Amino acid sequence: MFQKIITSQLNPPRFLLLIFLVFITVGTMLLKLPFATTDGITIIDAFFTATSALTVTGLIVVDTGTAFTLFGQVVIILLIQIGGLGIMTFAVFIFLMSGRKLGFKEHVLITQSLNQNSVGGIILLARKILLFSLAVEFITFILLCVFWIPVFGWKNGVYASFFHAVSAFNNAGFSIWSDSLSSFIDHSFIMVIITTSFIVGGVGFTVIFDIWKKKRFKDFSLHTKLMLVGTLLINLIAFCFVFLLEYYNLDTLGGLSIIDKIKAAYFQAVTPRTAGFNTVDIGALNHSTLFFMIILMFIGAGSASTGGGIKLTTFFAIMFSVLSFVKKKEDIEVFRRSISDRTVVRSLAITVIGFSFILVGIFILDITEDAPFLKIVFEAVSAFGTVGLSMGLTGELTWVGKLIIPMIMIIGKVGPLTLAFALANQPKVRVRYAKEDILTG
Average pLDDT, the chain: 84
pLDDT of residue 6: 47
Q: What is the DSSP letter of 174?
A: -
Whether residue 43 is contained in a domain is answered as yes
242-251: average pLDDT: 93
Q: What are 291-346's pLDDT values in tens digits?
A: 999 999 999 887 767 777 888 889 999 999 999 989 888 888 888 888 888 888 88
Whether residue 439 is contained in a domain is answered as no
Whether residue 276 is contained in a domain is answered as yes
pLDDT of residue 427: 57
Q: What CA–CA distance (Å, rounded) separates 253 from 248?
A: 7
| pLDDT tier at 265, thresholds 50, 70, 90 | very high
pLDDT of residue 176: 92
Q: What are 414-430's pLDDT values in tens digits?
A: 777 666 655 665 555 56
Cβ-Cβ contacts under 8 Å for 428 (sequence gap 6 or more): none
Whether residue 124 is contained in a domain is answered as yes
Give pTM, 2 decimals.
Answer: 0.87
Q: What CA–CA distance (Å, rounded) separates 272 from 242?
A: 11
Instruction: Tally the domains of the chain.
Output: 1
Whether residue 248 is contained in a domain is answered as yes
Cross-strand partners of 37: 68
Top-confidence range, 77-86, 170-179, 289-298: 289-298
User: In which region does residue 335 sit, left (phi positive, over 0), alpha (psi from -120 to 50) or beta (all else)?
Assistant: left
Whether residue 430 is contained in a domain is answered as no
Angle between helices 341-368 and 312-326 (to 10 degrees): 120
pLDDT of residue 142: 95
| Closest to 68 in 3D by CA, of 40, 29, 43 | 40
- Torsion angles phi and psi, residue 332, rounded to 5: -95, 105
- DSSP characters for 79-91? HHHHHHH-HHHHH
Whether residue 433 is contained in a domain is answered as no
| pLDDT tier at 145, thresholds 50, 70, 90 | very high
Q: What are 3-35's pLDDT values in tens digits?
A: 554 444 556 667 777 878 889 999 999 999 999
Task: Give the up-direction half-sphere exposure of residue 195: CA atoms within 13 A in the CB hemisphere.
Answer: 22
pLDDT of residue 119: 47
Q: What CA–CA distance (Å, rounded) separates 19 from 147?
A: 38
- Torsion angles phi and psi, residue 81, rounded to 5: -65, -45
Indicate the Cα dihedral angle 172, 382, 402, 77, nearest 10°: 0
Task: Give the up-direction half-sphere exposure of residue 311: CA atoms within 13 A in the CB hemisphere.
Answer: 25
Percent of the chain with pLDDT over 90: 44
Residue 298 and residue 291 in contact, taking contact as beta carbons nearer than 8 Å: no
Q: What CA–CA distance (Å, rounded) separates 304 from 76?
A: 22
| SS3 of residue 334 by DSSP | strand
Containing domain of residue 337, as a range?
Answer: 2-420
Q: Is 327 exposed, middle or buried (0-12, 13-18, 19+ CB in 10 A)?
A: exposed
pLDDT of residue 7: 46
Q: Give the H or E element holding residue 34.
A: none
When comparing pLDDT for 128 and 372, which is higher? 372
Out of 64-73, 130-139, 351-360, which region has the weakest mean confidence (pLDDT)? Answer: 130-139
Whether residue 102 is contained in a domain is answered as yes
